[in-house]
């Protein structure tokens, strides 16, 4: 059964609409919001609010757009908390741990993977995430990658084929053949279930040349492009992402001045490549944080995402990502919230999410706070009171 067709939220103490049509007015007070048939239909003052099937009194709380978390790896089995403890004791993160999860994921049944995936999605939702990108990348055979994407598609349309996550153990001595497989039979089996294709560029994963081959094959198969680059060192991945018109290049912790200029030029040109920062990864790998201020000052389009995965970061908390962005990356609270909502939508090339302007999807979060800046000043406190997806309130 679908819920009521119209919902009105009244007495919004602070309404952070981030409406791109009103760039000079990202925030208003004393507002009300009507969502009809899943879309924002009206924004105005509470005193003028029309009647609706469902009426929610925000009682002076802040209302923000739902978070758009544009980078996640949620289809997996197994546990790697031992690696986290070792890192906190001084061990470095390496891509090699991915193979541990690959073995556990291959051994799991569809239902085991589905139950875990849905639980992780529910946790993200409870923290205010209303749009979620999910990658494959822990199957690394034709059948296991296709299965991961079929399961991911059950919970989100924003699915990404990441057969090029690492070279699996059985191809360790023949990576050429594996790269051909990813861009050949594996891509053919996965493309029907994926919107994007992604490659992990890293000294422990794939080179820029290998990534180019895989991404071009994906583009020929009709997929849009995303890239992991610059997590542990500058690696040429940003230049490749911009050259190929990728929607997003993610991590961007280690960048050259040329990388920053390429990203800025791409943003100036319009629908360019977004730099997606993942500060929960630096938190969980004991690495230096990326410099968001350098990117914003240069005019780069910036997104924030969680990168929830079993290895480099197992937190799906977008509120904590916002807090870290303000505390460690040099963003203002408004820049951080914008990057976690509209920025994520831009990284997914969506204009109907990440803001609450008229016509957008009715994905809204009522905070347990009068001001959105509490997300940054009160890390770890459960400030998400209520989440609406397409205007449908949780029970």
Binding residue per annotation — 355? no
Residue number, nearest CB to Fe ion? 307
Q: Print the binding letters for residues 185-204 with ligand NIG: x by CB under 6 A, - otherwise.
A: ---------------x----
How far apart are alpha carbons 84 and 235 in whole angstroms? 25
Binding residue per annotation — 307? yes
Could you say whether residue 281 binds ligand NIG (CB under 6 A)? yes
Stretch that binds ligand NIG, among 97-105, 146-154, 190-198, 381-389 (CB under 6 A): 97-105
Place of tokens 């990576």: 175
Closer of 95 and 320 to Fe ion (Cβ): 95
Binding residue per annotation — 311? yes
Q: Print the binding letters for residues 221-240 with ligand NIG: x by CB under 6 A, - otherwise.
A: -------x--x---------
SS (H, E, C) the chain: CCCCCEEEEEEEEEEECCCCCCCCCCEEEEEEEEEECCEEEEEEEHHHCCCCCEEEECCCCEEEECEEECCECCCCCCCCHHHHHHHHCCCCCCHHHHHHHHHHHHHCCHHHHHHHHHHHHHHHHHCCEEEECEECCCCCCHHHHHHHHHHHHCCCCCEEEEEECCCCHHHCCCHHHHHHHHHHHHHHHHHHHCCEEEEEECCCCECHHHHHHHHHHHHHCCCEEEEEECCCCCCCHHHHHHHHCCCEEEECCCCCHHHHHHHHHHHHCCCCCEEEECHHHHHHHCCCCCCHHHHHHHCCCEEECCCECCCCCCCCCHHHHHHHHHHHCCCCHHHHHHHHHHHHHHHCCCCCCCCCCCCCECCEEEECCCCCCHHHHCCCCCCEEEEEECCEECC
Residue 200 CB, shortest distance to ligand NIG, in Å, is 5
366: how many CB neighbours lie within 10 A of its CB? Answer: 22
Could you say whether residue 310 binds ligand NIG (CB under 6 A)? yes
Binding residue per annotation — 73? yes
Could you say whether residue 97 binds ligand NIG (CB under 6 A)? yes
Q: Print the binding letters for residues 17-56 with ligand NIG: x by CB under 6 A, - otherwise.
A: ----------------------------------------
Could you say whether residue 309 binds ligand NIG (CB under 6 A)? yes
Stretch that binds Fe ion, among 32-40, 107-115, 181-189, 303-311 (CB under 5 A): 303-311
Q: Print the binding letters for residues 325-354 with Fe ion: x by CB under 5 A, - otherwise.
A: ------------------------------
Stretch that binds Fe ion, among 230-238, 293-301, 306-314, 357-365 (CB under 5 A): 306-314
From ligand NIG, Fe ion, none, which one binds at residue 98 (CB under 5 to 8 Å depending on kind)?
ligand NIG
Residue 228 CB, shortest distance to Fe ion, in Å, is 5
Closer of 8 and 68 to ligand NIG (Cβ): 68
Residue burial 231-252, b: 16+ Cβ < 10 Å; e: rest: bbebbbbbbbbbebebbbbbbb
Q: Which residues pair with 386 in a beta bridge?
A: 366
Closer of 160 and 335 to ligand NIG (Cβ): 160
Closer of 67 and 200 to ligand NIG (Cβ): 200
From ligand NIG, Fe ion, none, which one binds at residue 101 (CB under 5 to 8 Å depending on kind)?
ligand NIG
How far apart are alpha carbons 346 and 296 in whole angstroms? 15
Residue number, nearest CB to ligand NIG? 311
Could you say whether residue 98 binds ligand NIG (CB under 6 A)? yes
Binding residue per annotation — 309? yes
How far apart are alpha carbons 229 and 180 in whole angstroms? 21
**Of 108, 208, 223, the residue nearest 160 (C-alpha):** 223
User: Would you tell me which residues interact with ligand NIG (CB under 6 A)?
Assistant: 73, 97-98, 101, 200, 228, 231, 281, 307, 309-312
Binding-site annotation: residue ranges = 71, 73, 80, 138, 165, 228, 231, 307, 309, 311-312
Binding-site annotation: residue ranges for N-formimidoyl-L-glutamate = 138, 309, 311
Binding-site annotation: residue ranges for Zn(2+) = 71, 73, 228, 307
User: Would you tell me which residues interact with Fe ion (CB under 5 A)?
Assistant: 307
């Amino acid at each position: 059964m679908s819920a009521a067709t119209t919902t009105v939220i009244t007495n919004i103490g602070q309404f952070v609409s981030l409406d791109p049509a009103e760039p000079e007015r990202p925030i208003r007070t004393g507002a009300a919001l009507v969502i009809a048939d899943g879309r924002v239909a009206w924004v105005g003052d509470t005193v003028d609010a029309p009647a609706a099937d469902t009426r929610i009194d925000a009682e002076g709380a802040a209302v923000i757009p739902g978070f758009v978390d544009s980078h996640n790896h949620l289809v997996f089995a197994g546990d790697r908390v031992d690696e986290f403890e070792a890192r906190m004791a001084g061990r470095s993160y390496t891509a090699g741990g991915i193979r541990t999860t690959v073995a556990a994921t291959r051994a799991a049944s569809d239902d085991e993977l589905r139950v875990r995936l849905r639980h992780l999605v529910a946790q993200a939702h409870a923290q205010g995430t209303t749009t979620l990108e999910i990658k494959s990348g822990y199957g690394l055979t034709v059948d296991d990658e296709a299965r991961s994407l079929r399961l991911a598609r059950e919970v989100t349309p924003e699915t990404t084929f990441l057969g090029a996550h690492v070279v699996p153990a059985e191809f360790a001595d023949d990576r050429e053949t594996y790269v051909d497989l990813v861009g050949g039979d594996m891509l053919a089996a996965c493309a029907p279930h994926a919107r994007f294709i992604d490659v992990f560029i890293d000294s422990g994963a794939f080179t820029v040349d290998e990534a180019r081959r895989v991404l071009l094959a994906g583009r020929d198969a009709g997929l849009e492009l995303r890239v992991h680059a610059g997590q542990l060192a500058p690696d040429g991945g940003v230049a490749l992402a911009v050259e190929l018109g990728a929607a997003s290049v993610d991590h961007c912790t280690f960048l050259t001045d040329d990388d920053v200029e390429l990203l800025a030029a791409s943003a100036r040109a319009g629908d360019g490549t977004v730099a997606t920062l993942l500060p929960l990864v630096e938190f969980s790998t004991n690495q230096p944080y990326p410099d968001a201020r350098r990117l914003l000052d240069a005019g780069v389009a910036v997104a924030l995402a969680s990168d929830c995965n079993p290895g480099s970061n197992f937190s799906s908390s977008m509120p904590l990502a916002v807090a870290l962005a303000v505390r460690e990356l040099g963003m203002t609270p408004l820049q951080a919230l914008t990057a976690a909502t509209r920025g994520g939508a831009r990284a997914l090339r969506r204009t109907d999410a990440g803001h609450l302007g008229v016509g957008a999807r009715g994905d809204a979060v009522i905070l347990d706070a009068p001001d959105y800046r509490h997300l940054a000043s009160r890390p770890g406190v459960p400030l998400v009171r209520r989440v609406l997806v397409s205007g449908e309130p949780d029970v």
